[in-house]
Amino acid sequence: MTEKLYVVDKEIQRDKSEFVSSDVFREAMSRLSAPVALVTTDGPAGRYGLTVSAICSVSVEPPTVLVCLNRDNRSHAAFLRNGVIGISILEPGHEELAFRFASSKTDQNEKFLGADWVERLGGASVLANAAVTLVGRIAQTLSSGSHDILVAHIHDIGLHTENTKGLVWFDRAFHHLPAQT
Ligand SMILES: Cc1cc2nc3c(=O)[nH]c(=O)nc-3n(C[C@H](O)[C@H](O)[C@H](O)COP(=O)(O)O)c2cc1C
């Protein structure tokens, strides 16, 4: 059996800080398998989008999801101002798109080029060939550390039944999940 490494931040011993270091935390979180989605918004603040993995279901009644956004992202303010969020859950083959939307340098309009988008509720566009798309209105925002947690009520869903393979982010790389047999 391989030995488990317990990493206790030296700071804890030194000044009794309650936190582990951000490097250790990042390393731990890299082992958490996560979905990969593009989140987009459009409206008075303009069209913006980025890649996220911090996204999960919150409630069925009403249908609610949460997305964690770094407040330093260029797109952050636009989501709050536009109040709408389009979510495109990615599948194998979308890796290049995921990296493009994860760039903090690429121009926002350039991010959207070369892919097919469908405009839904409130103008938010979702990827035409995404496995699943959801569009919602941002109902609540909570701040925690560097991020805002956007709570969105879902008003529109696109389910592509033929797309059954999964794309996950694990150990800082993309992995494919096979279709159910
Ligand atoms: C696989 C992956 C997952 C990511 N997940 C998130 C996330 O959940 N929340 C977030 O704020 N940024 C996340 N990022 C980073 C953003 O995509 C990145 O900072 C992007 O440049 C932000 O775009 P913007 O500055 O144009 O808004 C992720 C990046 C990658 C590659």
Q: Which residues line ligand 1 (CB under 6 A)?
A: 36, 50-54, 68-70, 73-75, 102-104, 169
User: Both tokens of residue 76?
Assistant: 């952050």
Domain span at 12: 1-31
**pLDDT, tens digit (0-9, with 9 covering 90-100), for 121-175:** 778 999 999 989 999 999 999 999 999 999 999 999 999 877 679 999 999 999 9
**pLDDT, tens digit (0-9, with 9 covering 90-100), for 23-70:** 999 999 999 999 999 999 999 999 999 999 999 999 999 999 999 999
Nearest ligand 1 atom, CA 76: 27
Which three-class secondary structure state does DSSP give residue 10?
A: helix
Q: How many CA atoms lie within 13 A of 52 on its CB side?
A: 26
**CATH number of 39's domain:** 2.30.110.10
Same domain, 87 and 13: no
**Alpha carbon distances (Å) from 178 to 37, 52, 93:** 18, 21, 13
For the whole model, what pTM was predicted? Answer: 0.92
Same domain, 84 and 138: yes
Same domain, 53 and 18: no
